[in-house]
Amino acid sequence: MVKSLHRSFVAAALVVALAVGISAPVRAAESGPHAAWMDWQPGNDVTNVASLQRGAAHFMGYCAGCHSLKYVRYARVAEDLNIPEAQMEKLLLLPGSKKGDYITTPLSAADAEAWFGKAPPDLSLITRSKGSDYVYQFMKTFYADPARPTGVDNLALPGTAMPHVLSALQGVQEAKFKVVEKTVDGSKITEKIWESFEAGEPGQLSAEEYDAFLRDTVNFLEYAGEPYKAKRLSLGVWVILFLLVFTLFAYLLKQEYWKDVK
């Protein structure tokens, strides 16, 4: 009796294992193939102040024309990133802004809608809502597509309204796709699966320089999403040290209180 129970248990376990094994690849295919670009990471570090300074300059030079950082003030950036006031006024402030102002964009939402069909979102919290990796991948995966009004499309946000604003730096790469035919619910569809990027129109930067440019820009956006982060991380070490020392004193105190109680 016990033996046969045991045997049927093993058989059931095998069936479950097999079912999981068979269904796993099917499930993976349903959510689309995993492509190499989805693993790209900026490798940034919010405690690297020099990188944040470069990122701030990149943002003001290449992004602030369309995107705001409406929860971040210029003065806060200058203070956190050790940027002297004179330099901040020369390099960061948009014309007409004061150092106590929030970083807004001169582009009005109505103009943006008319020109791009979509208003560029505020980027204060973009790395927190979509992740730093996502922003990096978005900025790295523009490719030439003459059928689009902007002349480019994007792997991370297909059909995006944003033009490739860094094309002078990166160039405009070509994307190679494999076309596969699939039948979904009885109807045939063709699917484009990305295979690789190939050199197209060249830009001013090498591939490594462009990655470094993005690393700094994404780093600054990650800082903007949580200006206190670098301080929080360094403060954390002190909090743990304090707790360790406090534990020691609490233990000594307990020994003292209980020494006569047997």
Which residues would be at the binding site for ligand HEC (CB under 6 A)?
A: 62-63, 65-67, 116, 118, 120-121, 126, 130, 135, 138-139, 157, 160-163, 165-166, 217
The owner of tokens 């690789």 is: 196
Give 62 or 194: the residue with its C-beta nearer to ligand HEC: 62
The owner of tokens 């790209």 is: 40
* Structure-block tokens of residue 177: 């796709």
Q: Determine the Cα–Cα distance for residues 184 and 165; give it in Å rounded to an integer.
A: 37
The number of CA neighbours under 13 Å toward the Cβ of 238 is 5
Give 78 or 135: the residue with its C-beta nearer to ligand HEC: 135
Q: What's the start-to-end Cα distance of the chain, in Å?
A: 56
Q: Minimum CB separation from ligand HEC for residue 142, in Å? A: 11
Give 226 or 254: the residue with its C-beta nearer to ligand HEC: 226
DSSP tag of 102: E
At residue 73, the 3 state secondary structure works out as strand
Give 77 or 166: the residue with its C-beta nearer to ligand HEC: 166
Q: Determine the Cα–Cα distance for residues 118 and 62; give it in Å rounded to an integer.
A: 18
Q: Minimum CB separation from ligand HEC for residue 166, in Å? A: 6
Q: Minimum CB separation from ligand HEC for residue 246, in Å? A: 43
Give 74 or 220: the residue with its C-beta nearer to ligand HEC: 220
Give 65 or 202: the residue with its C-beta nearer to ligand HEC: 65
Instruction: With CA atoms as reference, report the closest residue to 138 among 185, 101, 102, 170.
Output: 170
Q: Minimum CB separation from ligand HEC for residue 97, in Å? A: 17
Q: Minimum CB separation from ligand HEC for residue 21, in Å? A: 35
Q: Are 123 and 138 in contact (CB under 8 A)?
A: no
Q: Minimum CB separation from ligand HEC for residue 119, in Å? A: 7
Instruction: With CA atoms as reference, report the closest residue to 191 among 177, 202, 204, 173.
Output: 177
